[in-house]
């Protein structure tokens, strides 16, 4: 029998393409503003900051530019680490930060230490075991410090999207390309109708085009309600001090937890 195909999306390759084609100083300003709104510049200044699933490194770099004294980014994708190191040279030359090719499930992950801010936006639901990933990530948070996560909201369409994402990754390249151009106008129109805002003007993340690829292809894919996430994390010694509802029903709920 042949080797079983790994049905998983290469997030790192998408981040790398975005970095090479679309990442500029304006998008770093957006990243800085996003961190300010969610965490607060005063909390980031002088902190130790861990970015789990750093992607292009944009938020780890933004944290360093916001005054974090120690910044580490980790990602399971070699392409993401390469993109992060390259972007550090382009946008934060001289700033000290480290990027490591690691999984949250690595046996030695806790050896990274404890951090004032553990940040993982839109990542842990793509690990294949979101609850285990949350539990491990929370152990990296120092006492009286912040655990910042964003997890896809559970919606009636979530199960359907899980099938679409699996199908996308199982298909040859031409079919995947076709799916992106089918969903591109559909997603743009849906966002416009739901938010009544220009879908191409974004608060954070990639360009709209690369976001569509990330969304349609993003498998493994898990989701949870606001209550499920809060109840699960608070049982491990945290208190939810901030919650941000997504602009669209299938988007990411944002949580800021304080370790008690």
Residue 100: inside a domain: yes
Residue 5 inside a domain? The answer is: no
Both 23 and 131 in a single domain? yes
How many independent structural domains does the chain possess? 2
Tell if the pTM clears 0.75, that is, is over it: yes
The pLDDT value given to residue 3: 43
Asked whether residue 245 is domain-assigned, the answer is yes
* Cα Rg, the chain, nearest whole Å: 18
Q: Do residue 38 and residue 146 come from a single domain?
A: yes
Return d(Cα 90, Cα 117) in angstroms, integer.
24
**Can you give the pLDDT at residue 211?**
87
165 vs 215: CA distance, rounded Å = 8
Whether residues 142 and 76 fall in one domain: yes
250 with 213, same domain? no
Q: Are residues 254 and 144 in the same domain?
A: yes
Q: Examine the domain organization and report whether 17 and 139 are in the same domain.
A: yes
CB 91 within 8 A of CB 25: yes
Strand pairing category for 70-75 and 48-52: parallel
pLDDT at 5: 57
pLDDT of residue 2: 42
Q: Do 205 and 118 lie in a common domain?
A: no
Other CB atoms within a 10 A radius of the CB of residue 179 amount to: 18
CA distance 203 to 33: 8
Statement to judge: residues 92 and 174 lie in one domain: no
Strands of the 98-101 sheet, one edge to the other: 98-101, 70-75, 48-52, 115-121, 141-152, 252-259, 238-244
Domain region containing 178: 158-217
Q: What is the pLDDT of residue 94?
A: 73
Q: Examine residue 4 and state whether it is found in any structural domain, yes or no.
A: no
Q: What CATH number has the domain bearing residue 124?
A: 3.40.50.150
For the chain (260 residues), the mean pLDDT of every run of 10, in chain order, is 65 89 84 93 97 96 95 97 94 88 97 98 97 98 98 97 96 94 91 79 72 93 98 97 94 97
- pLDDT score for 172: 94
Query: Does 81 share its domain with 23?
Result: yes
Same domain, 64 and 162: no
């Amino acid at each position: 029998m042949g080797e079983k195909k790994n049905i998983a999306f290469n997030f790192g390759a998408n981040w790398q393409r975005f970095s090479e084609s679309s990442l500029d100083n304006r998008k770093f300003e957006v990243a800085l503003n996003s961190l300010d709104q969610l965490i607060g510049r005063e909390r980031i200044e002088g902190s130790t900051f861990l970015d789990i699933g750093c992607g292009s490194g944009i938020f780890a770099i933004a944290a360093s530019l916001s005054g974090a004294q120690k910044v580490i980014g980790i990602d399971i994708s070699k392409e993401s680490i390469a993109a992060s190191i390259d972007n550090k040279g382009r946008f934060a030359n001289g700033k000290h930060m480290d990027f490591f090719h690691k999984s949250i499930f690595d046996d030695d992950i806790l050896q990274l230490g404890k951090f004032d801010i553990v940040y993982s936006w839109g990542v842990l639901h793509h690990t294949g075991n979101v609850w285990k990933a949350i539990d491990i990530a929370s152990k990296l948070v120092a006492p009286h410090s912040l655990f910042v996560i964003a997890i896809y909201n559970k919606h009636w369409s979530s199960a359907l999207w899980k099938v679409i994402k699996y199908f996308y990754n199982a298909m040859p390249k031409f079919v995947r390309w076709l799916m992106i151009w089918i969903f591109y106008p559909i997603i743009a129109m849906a966002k416009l109708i739901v938010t009544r805002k220009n879908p191409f003007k974004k608060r954070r993340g990639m360009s709209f085009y690369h976001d569509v690829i990330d969304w349609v292809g993003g498998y493994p894919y898990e989701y949870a309600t606001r209550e499920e996430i809060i109840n699960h994390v608070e049982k491990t010694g945290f208190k939810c001090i901030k919650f941000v509802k997504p602009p669209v029903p299938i988007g990411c709920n944002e949580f800021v937890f304080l370790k008690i």
